[in-house]
Amino acid sequence: MQKNAVFAVGVSEGQWKCQDEIRSGDFTVCYSGGERLERGIAIVVHASILRGVFKKSVCNDRIIALKLREEPVSILLV
């Protein structure tokens, strides 16, 4: 991600349980999964983007959203 200057990535078919965040270096993984290690979704964001997040919505193991405070309008990553 750093090599290509990508600051946010959506990941599908992640194999995580429940909902949580994992921090690794400059990146944070916000994820949501089912009761078993199947299905699941995540958004990986760089620390520079994470500072602008003012709302995180996790609906289920298929829908996750981050709302970023940007100018002139906010950005919604789904």
CB 59 within 8 A of CB 66: no
CB 45 within 8 A of CB 21: no
For the chain, the structural domain boundaries read: 8-77
pLDDT tens digits along 32-68: 887 777 778 888 888 888 778 888 888 777 888 888 8
The pLDDT assigned to 32 comes to 84
Q: Is the pLDDT of residue 2 over 70?
A: no
